[in-house]
Structure 1
Amino acid sequence: MRSLLARTLLLAAAVVLAGTGTAAAQPTDLMAKVVVIGVPGLSWSDVQASPELTALVNQSHVGSISVKTAGPHTCPVDGWLTISAGTRAWGNVPDQPCGDLPAVTDGKIAGWQSYVDRQAEHHTGAPIGRLGISRDRVCGFGPGAAIAVAKPNGTVANWSPDFDAAKLASTACGDAIVDAGAMPLREGRDEARKHVADLVTQARAAGGWVLLVGVGQETADAHQQTLVAMHLPPDNGPRWLTSDSTRRPGMIQLTDITATVLRGEAKPVDPAGSEKAGPLDGAEIHFTGGLHTNAEAVIEDRLDANQRFEQPRPVLFVVALTIVGAEVLALVWFLIRRSPASRRTAVFTLLMQGGFFIAVFLAQATLWWRWPSPGFSLYAVTIGISALSAVLAQVFLKRYAYLGLALAAYLLLLIDGVLGTPMQVGSMFADGPVIGGRFYGFGNSTFATLAVGALITAGWAAQKLIDKSRVQAALAVLVIGGAAIVVDGKPGWGTDFGGIIALTPAVLLMAWLTWKGTISLRALIGVGVAGVLAVSLVAFLDYLRPPEQRSHFGTFVARLLDGDVSDVLIRKLQMAVQFFSGPAGWGMLVGVILCMLATVLPDRVPSESYREFYRSLPMVRPTLLAMSTCGLVGMLLNDAGVALPAIMIGFALPLLVAHLMASRQPATVSPESHLVQES
């Protein structure tokens, strides 16, 4: 069995790293001069409202740009500092309006040191000034461009306060950054659009290729959306912009601008000039997909994309409130009446919550963002699929309905991962481009859903085999759990570093308990070490690939070897502990601890049904302990913190309670049942 575990780990590591890459195409006619025209607040609605900008669409590779930076808002200064650093920077003071951009006095950015200090204060690791020191003869025009092209000490050279077409066309400028000014909120917006279009015309006449992008929001409290990105002239016809940092057609992020201007030539020097700066967060911009020749259709597609990215998180709260409210009412009715009807209603609402973890992904197949009232459409679709999932599970599996929901979530996410995670884009569980989180692969909420589905499915399969052979049952756990690990962790599929760190030891522990029935301290340490080695092997193999092909795994190893990992770890720790800034986080922690204790000390749980369930079948205990292990490791080592096990509980607990309520006599259920699954 030990050799089987070792071979399985090596095979999983090999599969995780195999066959990765990107479908994006590198431009073959990249001109010598790159001119970036930055316009804070430039939206696709502006393009639609401007005949001049609309006319540029069919002359450009197009897309949307995520302008999320290190701070809670992306004011113009945040955006320009991010372009300067090539990684997300923090510019504005929290809880204050954006304010004006700093002036250039005697060849230096006023207050530059305050921006340097702000990066250290917030542990951004952003080496502001990297663009200015890494690229010779880069020109700047306008106040925002001064920030972008400043040296690490804040000095500015080859800069003009206003746009100068003659200078741009001269040999004095290699590449150039142009600040076209933020879009006015109300009056003057039409004139600003015409000004932007005119700048594009003049920049193209200078002989380079032009990148027109939004670089931030106009105000700190602006409605967040993805902004405009255009690349002119197009290479081989107009297509969709993309990059290896997003791996999504039609989507780039702000840090890609720096990577594109530098073309991989960034100097590894931090603002102090004493240590190496970390790698660029972005990647060179590419194009992909088929030709587009209908400007109106392209603009409509981008406006639809904004709806797809803006609506999910607000709607998530309303959907959750609806389902939890229905559960509370149904359970109160059951506690009062204890009637068959009240029991059935309570079970259905609990199963509906389980169905929600399927609906958040399947909803993407309905193209809800193209419907009238996209927010309400998403709400209705999600509630509808949640209810339909519960109905189908009850009709076909009766009181074992939870089994169908867990298995469906497991298979659905395996398929989604292998296909490149198309159901993640715009889902309620994805940290999309507006939030600026994960652009591809599985996020924390998706991983939590996959982990619960995988462990329940593995527990059920092992239960069916355990009487015949414990070795075969343990092998079933490794195969089912291993498939989830591979899909979750493989670069280009789930690409989830934190996920496999949590799931690998949980699967190994479950397999060991299935095989042996118990575990010693020595074996427990061995399982932990095996999990660490497996994850480390995957990360190191990813690091060996070219930098532009690395995923989060290899990038982390690169930062670790460069000694640039401290800020990353501190930021992740800050993200994990931020949940405890209010009572909700502490409430989640208490709930998570109680649920974990219930899997270790079942006799202390004040529920006879649960105690009988725990002792009913051999695979109940391994399955529950594996879930607790996954949640605990994820909580301690993942930036989601307590939210990760809380999401797992949000999926698993309603299924467990629904089964216990549907089973009149949990202690007498036959070994043929699928009880284990719902653990």
Structure 2
Amino acid sequence: MFRRWLVSVLAAALAFAAAAFGISMIKGDRPPTHRVQPGNLVVIGMPGLTWSDINEETTPTLAQMAGHGAIGNQLVRAISAHTCSDAAWVTLGAGARTPMGYGPPMASSSGTNSFCPEPVTGVHNPTTQTYTFHQWDTWSKAAFRRNIPSRMGLVASTLEDDQQCVAAVGERATLAAANRDGFVSHYSPTLTKDALSACPVTFVSLESRNDAELRYVIDNAPIDTTFLVTGLTDDERPESPRAIILDGPNIGGGMLRSRSTRQPGLVTTTDISAFILERVPNPPTLGEGRPLSVERTSTPATIRSVHNMQTLLRTEHNLIAPFFTWVFCIALALALVGVGLFVRARRLSGGHLTPPSRKDAEAESPQVTRARRLNRWWWSVAAALLASVPVATFLANLYAWYLHEHALVRYGLSVLVVLVPTAIVAFLGPWRRWTPGPAVFLAGFTAVTLAMDVVQGSRLQLVSMLGLQPVYGGRHFGMGNVGYALFMTSALFVAAMLAGRYRAMKRPRLALLTVLAIGVPAILVNGVPQWGNEGGGSAAFVPALVYLAMRARGWRITFTRLIAAAFAGVVFVLGVAWLDYLRGETERTHLGDVFAGLIGDGQINPVKRILYTNWNMLNQHWFHWLVPLGLLVAVVVTAFPTGPGRFLQPLFVRVPMLRHGLIAIIIMLGFGFIANDSGTSIPPAGALVVIPLLVLTAARLTSSATYEAPRVPAAGRLPSKK
């Protein structure tokens, strides 16, 4: 049996590797290259600029630059949901997300936003053409004390230390051109030829998206100047990715990229800061930003791609609330009909819904039999469809639904196209006679889809309703909080159910190996910086995996072993962070940066930020406190199966390892809630998967045509010889 188990594991691993390699070949991503700046650099801010604003008729200069330059979408979020000009320019000059004044909330999806704070101002000296912010020291100290420390004026001070002055044209640009003392050495309130050539680096803040002013800048800048045009800010417009164009000597056409996002055509404001700092030898490494690079692509395809990405991210976020409102209403309707069928079947059968014996089945009236079958069928189908919703929301993005009118309808149809066949396969596959078989298939399909997506760069998570939300979040690749909850919940459910089969066959060693064969690759996919890059989630998963492995082997759980499991999670994350740290400053991710801070000066800012963010989110709305309350209820239900959890006792008794699998999932969700910023989203996302799977398994438990445990001889027993 071990040989057959080993062949199955190797076949699954080879199939996954072959699929990943094949998808990579089809995608055909080209390696990006860095571009040098031989002459001056002019950064031009056109507030709120998007690709919808650019066309040959009204913005010929922008269209011309897009035709032969490197282009992309810029994520401009600083700290608050809505980014105003002051925060955007300060962030650019600091190389770290920095608030400035009041942080406005999210704008409405239509109309304008008029609640940006009054712009801050300094003092202009017309004689010396300088500009000074007298409150800079106060602002700078406050920014540095934040959970995400910011060194205001870092870019200008670093360039000045290398004998490169920084000029500002327009009052807003002074916030980026100011040095660590809040002083701008060259300032002009209006566009002039002298102002554009005063320094090697110039920040220009235009008051509007004026193509004629942009033309003036290009025509009057020195020869060999590199131009970077950016939307940079939301201001009066709803939040959206902003257009960014890089043009000049040695740039050429293509797609802008950055190691901070790892997504083609998607960069951040701090990436521009890192790009500017490349002008000095040994530039400082920023906490988030990485220098811009260019991926060679054809111009028409590139423009179409960045325009579509902007449309997708904006449309997808606007449809989250209505889409899941419809899903909730449909689920509620299915549940209400199911409750009615359940009550009717229970009344007709005299209060018993367990599978009848053969003798009782023969004596059962046709009406009771039909009611029993209809009840079981309804709950099975409804649960299977709902369990397929999460994975369908990811795979639906393989179709460009957002480019059509009535996007919500198109998206709903796209989800159905994935959801219905997935549920059908769950019921018709070779696992259909095994009671938890369809549930295991759905969980496995969800886990494999998310794992493949992470290995391929998280393209589906980036744009999914349950994905990363890059316009409003801080993660652009890897495993997000919701993705982590869906992935790990599914993986633990599959591991528990398959281990239960071997436990029923008296094969505890194979049960243990099964848990490890699923759990170890899952934690690697989730935690390795090149893939999931999820430190806190990996630390939370290790105790759950250790618990499930010990239960699969039949070992007793002790307090010492639980502490050792938690310690193992911390050691794993520190080990991964150490390996990431060894890759160097330009290559490492945030895990390596955290490790560098710990061994450098003992910084624990990431830990403080996680605790602060979770506490802040819990207190934003009263219903967020339902998350820890729900976890507490789940703990009580699984800890006392003959008391509060007696409604699940038939499942716990007849489906091997199910209770232990649920306990492992609760451990993972609980620690994940604590160990991740915005962790309030993790337990509800896990429930989105595990509750339909439990309902599906329970509905099939009432069928006499399915079995819970394999019907094979127990280990050590041989068929008797006659």
Equivalent residue for 2:568?
A: 530
Equivalent residue for 1:76?
A: 85
- 1:538 Cα deviation (Å)? 0.7
Equivalent residue for 1:677?
A: none
SS at match of 2:586: helix
Separation in structure 1 between the aligned mates of residue 380 and residue 534 of structure 2, nearest angstrom: 33
Select which of 596, 604, 609 maps to 1:571.
609
- 1:634 Cα deviation (Å)? 0.5
Equivalent residue for 1:347?
A: 380
Counterpart contact for 2:101–2:117, Cα < 8 Å: yes
TM alignment of 1:126-165, pairs within 5 A? 126-136=150-160, 137-165=165-193
- 1:375 Cα deviation (Å)? 3.8
- 1:618 Cα deviation (Å)? 4.0
TM alignment of 1:43-54, pairs within 5 A? 43-48=50-55, 49-54=58-63
Equivalent residue for 1:208?
A: 225
Q: How many residue pairs end up in the alignment?
A: 628
Select which of 310, 315, 319 maps to 1:311.
315
What is the RMSD of the two structures over their aligned residues, measured on CA atoms?
Answer: 2.7
Counterpart AA for 2:315: Q
Equivalent residue for 2:215?
A: 197
Equivalent residue for 1:470?
A: 508
- 1:255 Cα deviation (Å)? 0.4
Counterpart AA for 2:270: T
1:541 aligns to 2:559 (yes or no):
no
Counterpart contact for 1:65–1:227, Cα < 8 Å: yes
1:499 aligns to 2:523 (yes or no):
no
Select which of 87, 104, 127 maps to 2:123.
104
1:604 aligns to 2:643 (yes or no):
yes
1:331 aligns to 2:344 (yes or no):
no
Equivalent residue for 2:49?
A: 42
SS at match of 1:549: coil
Counterpart AA for 1:200: I
Task: Tell which deviates more after alignment, 31-40 or 443-452.
Answer: 31-40
Query: In the TM superposition, what whole-angstrom CA distance separates every residue of 1:412-460 from its partner, at most 9, and x where no partner exists?
Result: 1222222222222211122233114211111111111110111112112
Query: In the TM superposition, what whole-angstrom CA distance separates every residue of 1:606-630 from its partner, at most 9, and x where no partner exists?
Result: 544x112112244223312211111
- 1:579 Cα deviation (Å)? 3.2
Shift of the 119–666 alpha-carbon distance from structure 1 to 2, 3 Å rule, reads farther
Separation in structure 1 between the aligned mates of residue 317 and residue 260 of structure 2, nearest angstrom: 22
TM-score by length of 1: 0.86
Shift of the 193–374 alpha-carbon distance from structure 1 to 2, 3 Å rule, reads farther
Shift of the 471–387 alpha-carbon distance from structure 1 to 2, 3 Å rule, reads same
Equivalent residue for 1:389?
A: 422
Select which of 81, 92, 95 maps to 2:101.
92
Shift of the 508–322 alpha-carbon distance from structure 1 to 2, 3 Å rule, reads same
Equivalent residue for 2:486?
A: 449
TM-score by length of 2: 0.81
Separation in structure 1 between the aligned mates of residue 74 and residue 152 of structure 2, nearest angstrom: 21
Equivalent residue for 1:16?
A: none
Separation in structure 1 between the aligned mates of residue 411 and residue 307 of structure 2, nearest angstrom: 16
1:242 aligns to 2:257 (yes or no):
yes
Separation in structure 2 between the aligned mates of residue 303 and residue 375 of structure 1, nearest angstrom: 19
- 1:381 Cα deviation (Å)? 1.6
Identity of aligned residues (%): 24
Separation in structure 1 between the aligned mates of residue 47 and residue 628 of structure 2, nearest angstrom: 40
- 1:122 Cα deviation (Å)? 5.3
Counterpart AA for 2:399: T
Query: In the TM superposition, what whole-angstrom CA distance separates every residue of 1:584-620 from its partner, at most 9, and x where no partner exists?
Result: 2122332222123222222223544x11211224422
Equivalent residue for 1:481?
A: 519
1:321 aligns to 2:321 (yes or no):
no
SS at match of 2:529: coil
Separation in structure 1 between the aligned mates of residue 279 and residue 562 of structure 2, nearest angstrom: 45
- 1:267 Cα deviation (Å)? 9.6
Counterpart AA for 1:335: V
Separation in structure 2 between the aligned mates of residue 304 and residue 282 of structure 1, nearest angstrom: 24
Counterpart contact for 1:312–1:378, Cα < 8 Å: no
Separation in structure 2 between the aligned mates of residue 459 and residue 181 of structure 1, nearest angstrom: 60
Counterpart AA for 1:79: A
SS at match of 1:311: helix
- 1:514 Cα deviation (Å)? 1.4
Shift of the 656–670 alpha-carbon distance from structure 1 to 2, 3 Å rule, reads closer
Equivalent residue for 1:631?
A: 669
Counterpart AA for 2:540: A
Separation in structure 2 between the aligned mates of residue 118 and residue 127 of structure 1, nearest angstrom: 10
Counterpart AA for 2:622: P
Shift of the 302–263 alpha-carbon distance from structure 1 to 2, 3 Å rule, reads same
TM alignment of 1:51-66, pairs within 5 A? 51-66=60-75
Counterpart contact for 1:75–1:92, Cα < 8 Å: no
Equivalent residue for 2:12?
A: none
SS at match of 1:207: coil
Separation in structure 2 between the aligned mates of residue 127 and residue 569 of structure 1, nearest angstrom: 20
Shift of the 93–118 alpha-carbon distance from structure 1 to 2, 3 Å rule, reads farther
- 1:564 Cα deviation (Å)? 7.4
Counterpart AA for 1:72: A
Stretches of structure 1 lacking an aligned partner (at least 5 in a row): 1-18, 184-191, 269-276, 674-679
